[in-house]
Chains A and B, each alone.
Chain A
Amino acid sequence: MSRLDGGLIDRSRTLSFTFDGRRYVGHPGDTLASALLANGVRLMGRSFKYHRPRGVLTAGSEEPSALVELRSGARREPNTKATVTELYDGLDAMSQNRWPSLKFDALGVNDFVSPLFAAGFYYKTFMWPKAFWEKLYEPAIRRAAGLGRLSMEPDPDSYDKGFLHCDLLVIGAGAAGLVAALTAARTGKRVILADEDFRLGGRLLSESHTLGDAPATDWLAGREAELSSLPNLRIMRRTTVFGAYDHGIYGAVERVGDHAPDASNGVRQTLWRITARRTIMATGATERHIPFANNDRPGIMLAGALRAYANRWAACPAGRVAIFTNNDDGHRTASDLAAKGVEIAGVIDTRADAQPLGDYPVFPGAVVTGSKGRLGLNSVEITQEGRTQTLTCGALGVSGGWNPNLQLASHHRGRPVWSEEKLAFLPGEGGPRGLVPAGAANGEGSTGGALSSGARAAQAVLADLGVDAAMPELPEAEDTPIKQSAFWYVPGTARAWVDFQNDVTVKDIALAHQENMRPVEHLKRWTTLGMATDQGKTSNVTALAIMAELTGRSIPETGTTIFRPPYTPVSLGVLGGGDTGAEFRPLRLTPTHEWAKARGAPFTEVGPWMRAQYFPRPGETHWRDSVDREVLATRAGVGICDVTTLGKVDVQGADALEFVNRLYCNGFKTLKVGMVRYGLMLREDGIAMDDGTCARLAEDHLVVTTTTSQAGPVYRHMEFARQCLWPDLDVQLISTTDAWAQLSVAGPHARRLLERVVDGVDISNDACPFMSCRELTVCGGLRARLFRISFSGELAYELAVPARYGGALMDRLVTLGEDLGATPYGTEALSVLRIEKGHAAGNELNGQTTAQMLGMGRMVSNKKDSIGAVLSRREGLCADRRTLVGLQAMDAGAKVTAGAHLLSDGAEERTEMDEGWISSACHSPHLGVGIGLGFLEDGARRMGEVITAANPLEGQSTRLRVVSPHFIDPDGGRVRD
């Protein structure tokens, strides 16, 4: 079949494309489906289960059958609807779910044994022998199932995200939507008009109506011109509003580059979050088909689609067509096609009183009872008053009435209501607030009805916003009410398809009824009806009507179905946006990052941060060489480590001390200005939350530090306490983690090194004792804070300077300390140093441990009310006798492994025998053996005992000696020197 006359295609240009490797041509304005039809291609796909040959059913986004793999290589896009794929030069599509070819599909054999594959059959078999499910049955099912193929390669395209705001969002640019947008935009309100099509006009593009005295396209051109001139209106073509979310937020996808020949050029799709004060849902309606025997052959399609292909795309699948209808609209298709020179074999109308709308044969009171043509329709069998005859035709248009596209109205679980007058579900109560349906989406199917419905809807929502909108002049348009009958399917013994893609037939629905799977949701789940990629748009209501007939109840009594987002399937690429790969999460770099990078340090992720792990030196071949050297150098001389990532919270105000006293479980009332105290914070449930230090810089000024990973949660916790629990306290908080670079300077030479940078301040042990702090300047005037605290067990300080000086300070310290052996160290050595000293860190403070377990039970003051104190005294918490211990390998070769479980020596590796676990482990260069920290049942009383560390996961079992967690300087002399 060649092209018909007319249509909205640009015949002056030709586009070349391929389908299954064969070359065809089409025109701008075509879709893949219209171009294929115009080239005489009816066979476009295979069904899911029976692999039946399928053509195109619809002309829109509800298409269940004509699915292809679009593009190739990494851009291959499976399950793409040919009906909404805008043709571009060089388009390359393949059919899918068939092997070896679309015409000869080996799994077509399924169709011949289809009685085996009745609804729910797989729940009843494949159970013996048991092991065969994973090995045999399931792999076979999985290979056969699925539709198209993913490329298995990373998606090379770019995606974007954006936010839009408007007073009115109009969804759908058909008759109702256009008028609504115009009515609203003329008032100056901000309006967005979005339509999934690449051309405005909706159904008007597919009709032969006139508006006023002119063709609909003329009227459309006029409206489009005005709309484009209004600065307060944004037209979004190729934009699908896919979901209605809370508070007037809508999700929409704009297909920016999908129609471009060069897909690599720019953004492919954009995800818009549109916040709208009001919304008009002018989304049109979807035609229903009428199941009859073998109603799924290529060439059988919805009558409205047949008409759309002829009127808009000047394409028709055959030169001789028939129409099967239960309503007047089917006759419009016949008359429009006849006007285009297509031969009408006849209109088979279920209604006895059917009247023709033109010069074509009508079969009143007749139904289609069969069809022929394996890869494309040849003829249909019709039955009229008990007599059967065959009608030769290459295409059949089926019209069973129209279902309003009310999906968005039920995204908030609003239930559609049945209209016996319109024989359709209409948008009901409980829809998204501020959303108003208009036009065919609200059952106003005639052109005239849609136009005035759009205008009225706009006036109503604007009035709601306090604006008086003038009624626009509406052109005269057809306004005949469609007469239809409640005819849902043609009974018979052969298979009649209801859900084309998933191969659900009338028989399957009858079987579901027979097996008592009658509630709509059981029906859907038992038969897979409506679970296909058209999301039930072409099948759900029909199936419901059939179930109603079987149960002898009305449709509303039988049930209704609601819809969930998305309205049409949305690519994961656009939902994931651009924040993928290395940009998945923000990256935070420490002030010494560049300095460390220049020294060849590898980095590791610590929460949001990248931190230097160690600083390799020439000749070091294993990371342990570097780490051991850094540890030993620190313990022997002085080491420097960037500890900026530790959280810092500035606490100021007259009640600052009182505030932290209520936060920490230990007492802070006696903390003097110039001193620092170690503090343990509990959650209100009594579990340890975080530890850190609190320095009192002035009467009314404290600095609280947190661990790196808890910096956010602790700050949040403090704000909660400040604003919600004790708003009467005079205290203010701010996180200064990013404001200060903080370097730890640790080791016996730490003081000597620091004396070289501080500006004329005495930092001797007397002037600046352990756990003191002060504000000073360094390096000739740079303001700084010095805290004499130690995480390593050595004489140590933390020196803070404004963040931008962090790298320079690091460099200065390492340079000035060369003769002292000043050594930068990374997170690995930091971890070894703290394990050797027995300091708890993230692995110990994992949200499941108590102060008692950490060996700090006596810190929890019972003289004051602090967060977590009360509930920390619960029986269950006190009964947990596991406490922090040190664990030491018995010989130099043995490895201590974090994550191993602790058992009494020789005990069986069973849950019941479990006595604890190793939380942190390392090789101690100081001791020359593996060591660890762990929680052990009654640990404090088991010093010296040999226990077993079981690691059955890796086939290991190691004997370890229980020791004090303070492997280094247990009396704490060094830190005080």
Chain B
Amino acid sequence: MRFSGLRVLAEALTGHKGWAPLWRNPDPKPAYDYVIIGGGGHGLATAYYLARTFRQARISVLEKGWLGSGNVGRNTTIIRSNYLLPGNQPFYEFSMKLWEGLEQELNFNAMVSQRGVLNLCHSDAQRDAFRRRGNAMRMSGADAELLDVSAVRKMAPFLNFDNARFPIKGGLLQRRGGTARHDGVAWGYARGADMAGVDLIQNCEVTGFFIEKGRVRGVETSRGYISAGKVGVAVAGNTSRVMGMAGLRMPIESHALQAFVTEGLKPVIPGVITFGAGHFYISQSDKGGLVFGGDIEGYASYAQRGNLPVMEDVVEGGMALMPMLGRARLLRAWGGVVDMSMDGSPIIDRTPIEGLYLNGGWCYGGFKATPASGYAFAHLLANDSPHPTARAFRLDRFERGYMIDEKGAGAAPHLH
């Protein structure tokens, strides 16, 4: 069924009788050519591109809960391509281009909204680093602008310019950055994949791999054994657990990340703003809630929740940057488990087990990567070769010394 304004109008007049399920609830078949583990944003996008773009068939997505129940359903919805390193930036710019055509591609309004991402800087050294990054962005074909303090003031007059511990000295702006409706992205890909014939199987938890002579043959699940030609794992937060079933140890730690939303408010801020001297970034959803977040909790966790100190730290940053926030109220805080990789960058690669492919290690930045991650992983699964923009995301890069460390924090996942 095609969605359109006309269709909405027609259904409104006829009592919404005609809307079909967004996707089927198929039972798992005994065998597939491709089994994607993980019905989150990346898994669903992978299945979609595998079926639509790479023309593969007999594909299933196995999800232990409900579609989109992982980090795609619990993030701060930011999209951007403002990276420094050549291993990252072209990939995220590719993702941005996919975002820009996503709704027409999926016939689903995921509310991709390019209202701009502004990173504030507070010292000369930070501005130099931003200039280096902005130039890397421009050289990759992305947009970037370096703002001085008066330009920042014009864009966001409500920021704390006058009584700040760390005065705002300027900012790096990506106008094409912005936000997207996170659940909508998952649903759009799910619906698209389903329409392309992919079996989306919910409440189906993978409990083991069947590996024979170094090759994966299928997966054990809570709904029975499913044999598979190739298995793609896209289970951010649980990568170590799932890959552990295949006997592989990962360069990943699981950490908890909190995010927050306020009660609905009339429009306050237009785009995304990040505070370069505190742990705070913020945007406003179309519904009116201020969506904000900060650093990960900083200790290994699978608990999908955080504690007060980080919440206080994040809000302190918010109050320091935007003192008008004091009378807004926090409505909800939630926590997700993220795959913190050893250099802060993801992995999209083959594994030592033939037929087993990995997509993980997204740290706290996986949402913006969703389209390109799905595309690149589908490319890898279909062609057995990495997508040109994802070549650096190798699993063996740590052993060989080709880390992609944007922050320069080293092999300390809790610091990325």
Contacts and interface: CB of A to CB of B under 8 A. Distances in A.
Interface of A: 48, 75-79, 97, 113, 115-116, 118, 121-128, 130, 133-134, 138, 141-143, 145-155, 157, 159, 161, 243, 245-246, 249, 251, 271, 273, 411-413, 507, 511, 514-517, 519, 521-522, 525, 528, 531, 533, 535, 564-566, 569-573, 575-577, 579-585, 587, 604-606, 683-687, 689, 842-843, 846-848, 871, 874-879, 897-901, 909-911, 913-914, 917-920, 950-954
Given A569-B263, A581-B160, A605-B166, A155 B307 contact: no
A146 B287 CA distance: 6
Nearest to B3: A124
Chain A CB within 10 A, most for which of B89, B146, B303, B324: B324
A580 B325 CA distance: 11
B135 A899 contact: yes
A582 B163 contact: yes
A685 B404 CA distance: 13
B111 A138 contact: yes
B134 A953 contact: yes
Given A125-B109, A273-B308, A575 B90 contact: no
A918 B135 CA distance: 11
Nearest to A874: B401
B135 A79 contact: no
B334 A564 contact: yes
A912 B73 CA distance: 36
Given A79-B264, A148-B266, A584-B317, 18 more contacts: A79-B329, A113-B12, A123-B109, A125-B109, A130-B103, A134-B113, A147-B264, A152-B268, A413-B303, A569-B330, A573-B319, A580-B320, A581-B160, A581-B320, A583-B165, A847-B410, A874-B400, A953-B135
B132 A899 contact: yes
Contact of A843 (B19, B89, B101, B128): B128
Given A78-B265, A573-B326, A584-B164, A911 B139 contact: yes
B283 to A, nearest CB: 12
A150 B323 CA distance: 11
B93 to A, nearest CB: 9
Contacts of A125: 3-5, 7-8, 109
Interface in B392-409: 397, 399-403, 405, 407-409
B308 A245 contact: yes
A577 B312 contact: yes
B308 A251 contact: yes
Interface string B106-144: 011111111100000011110111111111101110001
Given A115-B16, A141-B286, A909-B139, A584 B264 contact: no
Interface string B272-308: 0000011000001011100000000000000111011
Nearest to A273: B308
25 contacts: A48-B264, A75-B327, A123-B187, A124-B4, A124-B108, A125-B4, A130-B104, A145-B286, A150-B327, A152-B268, A413-B305, A516-B24, A566-B330, A566-B332, A572-B262, A572-B318, A572-B325, A573-B319, A579-B316, A581-B163, A605-B122, A684-B410, A875-B402, A901-B135, A911-B86
Contacts of A953: 131, 134-135, 138, 144-146
Contact of B410 (A118, A507, A683): A683
Interface string B170-185: 0000000000010110
A911 B331 contact: no
A584 B278 contact: yes
A952 B165 CA distance: 31
A584 B167 CA distance: 11
A587 B165 contact: yes
Contacts of B16: 115, 118, 507, 511, 514
A155 B410 CA distance: 40
Contact of B326 (A127, A273, A571): A571
A86 B219 CA distance: 60
Given A245-B308, A571-B328, A874-B401, A123 B108 contact: yes
A78 B327 contact: yes
6 interchain residue pairs of minimum CB distance: A847-B408, A155-B326, A899-B131, A874-B401, A146-B288, A876-B401
Contact of B125 (A128, A141, A533, A842): A842
B315 to A, nearest CB: 4
Given A125-B109, A127-B103, A576 B411 contact: no
A124 B333 contact: no
B195 to A, nearest CB: 13
Interface residues of B, number: 122
Contact of B263 (A411, A533, A909): A533
Given A151-B324, A155-B324, A901-B136, A535 B400 contact: no
Contacts of B184: 123
B311 to A, nearest CB: 6
Contacts of B307: 245-246, 249
B165 A575 contact: no
Contacts of B134: 899, 953
A407 to B, nearest CB: 11
Contact of A126 (B5, B266, B284): B5
B266 A570 contact: no
Contacts of B317: 584
Interface string B315-354: 1111110011111111111100000000000000000000
A154 B324 contact: yes
A251 B399 CA distance: 44
Nearest to B301: A246
Given A511-B19, A576-B326, A952 B135 contact: yes
A951 B166 CA distance: 26
A519 B202 contact: yes
B158 A517 contact: no
Contacts of B15: 115
Contacts of A413: 303-305
Contacts of A686: 401
A519 B8 CA distance: 24
A846 B202 CA distance: 45
Interface string B141-169: 00011100000000000101001111100
A145 B403 CA distance: 44
B152 to A, nearest CB: 15
B401 A516 contact: no
A848 B405 contact: yes
B225 to A, nearest CB: 25
Contacts of B113: 133-134, 138
B210 interface: no
Interface string B19-57: 111111100000000000000000000000000000000
B267 interface: yes
A155 B329 contact: no
A592 to B, nearest CB: 21
A64 B82 CA distance: 40
B69 interface: yes
A48 B265 CA distance: 11
Contacts of B4: 124-125, 127-128
Contact of A516 (B22, B140, B267): B22
Nearest to A138: B113
A683 B164 CA distance: 34
A528 B326 contact: no
Contacts of A847: 405, 407-410
Contact of B308 (A142, A249, A535, A683): A249
A877 B327 contact: no
Contacts of B19: 511, 514-515
Contacts of B101: 130
Contacts of A569: 262-263, 329-331
B119 to A, nearest CB: 13
B265 to A, nearest CB: 5
A230 B21 CA distance: 62
A142 B319 CA distance: 23
Contact of A846 (B11, B286, B408): B408
Contact of B69 (A246, A521, A584): A521
A953 B21 CA distance: 48
